[in-house]
Amino acid sequence: MRIALVGIGKIALDQHVPALAASPDWELAATVSRHGRVEGVEGFARIEDMLEARPDIGAVSLCLPPVPRFQAAQAVLRAGRHLMLEKPPGATLSEVHILRDLAQAQGVTLYASWHSRMAHAVAAAKAWLAGRVIHEGRITWREDVRKWHPGQDWIFQAGGMGVFDPGINALSILTEILPMPVHLRAAELDFPENRQAPIAARLSLSHGIAADFDFRQQGPQTWDMEFQTDAGQLALRLGGNLLEIDGRPATGEASIMGEYPALYARMAALVRKGASDVDLSPMVLTADAFTLGSRRIVEPFVF
């Protein structure tokens, strides 16, 4: 099946292009980007031009930042093409609700992807937690924004989500593996004096689960979660890639695919089934943190 990639930036080149190149399901047939190109693939500057010129391309994958994404997404769905969205699926919940309804009306697939849910040990963690009672949990998601988003000012603009850009990955794993829904009780957000999105956040969720997100981590990076349950301790480390039960490595049924290859395999399966997958729970928890959270002003941040 032919697919077009829109937004040829860092994440597209690092992840989407290699995943599509290795995919047995997809052929990367066009790109849309103001500046980016992929060698040997037809490039367009405007999405409307691509949709008109290439009726043979049945699916489109968007890797734009959240704020400009909606208009492109609407154009794709109105043109009757299947649509896969990078995380988060939009800048607002209200726009994703509109996309969901539009996809349904058009009879096409909409896949709001969460790449961290495809990390190696996530399925095994979910299987282990099923039916267990969570007494307490601790999420630590601390990374260096300068390393992962060098110079990407949009991430600290209004709607850029700041530290929730990685934090929502933790929330996507959390909402996938827990045997019950969680809700937010309180939050504290640290806004750099010169920015419109938080650089750190501390969340207090139900079931005794606390989350610590920080974009200022230097040295070793941390993407860990630990849960105390009625049947022992589960730890999921390295962004969902390593599982430990009671301190000992546990393999479980680890996925052998990378995150992005697994996303594109799932997109292909959804298209074949005529189904959609739009789980907004990580985005709801994020919106809840912005709504309920108290704000602290912290020192200015410069890349």
For the annotated catalytic residues, the residue numbers are: 87
Task: State CA 100 to chain mean position distance.
Answer: 17
Q: Does 159 contact its own copies by CB under 8 A? A: yes
Pairing of the two strands 200-205 and 209-214: antiparallel
Phi-psi region of 54 (alpha: psi -120 to 50; beta: other; left: phi over 0): beta
Q: Restricting to residues 6-65, name those near its own copies by CB under 8 A.
A: none
Judged by CB under 8 A, how many residues of this single chain contact its own copies? 33
Stretch that binds its own copies, among 145-153, 182-190, 232-240, 270-278 (CB under 8 A): 182-190
Contact criterion met (CB below 8 Å) for 66 and 74 = no
For its own copies, the closer of residues 69 and 266 by Cβ is 69
User: What is the nearest approach in angstroms of its own copies to the Cβ of residue 50?
Assistant: 24
For its own copies, the closer of residues 206 and 251 by Cβ is 206
Q: Restricting to residues 266-295, name those near its own copies by CB under 8 A.
A: 281, 284-288, 290-295
Q: Does 191 contact its own copies by CB under 8 A? A: yes
Q: Does 257 contact its own copies by CB under 8 A? A: no
For its own copies, the closer of residues 1 and 98 by Cβ is 98
Q: Which of 1, 98, 250, 254 binds its own copies (CB under 8 A)?
A: 98
For its own copies, the closer of residues 111 and 191 by Cβ is 191
Contact criterion met (CB below 8 Å) for 267 and 114 = no
Q: Note the residues at the interface with its own copies (CB under 8 A).
A: 67, 70, 91-95, 97-98, 101, 158-159, 161, 181-184, 186-187, 191, 196, 281, 284-288, 290-295
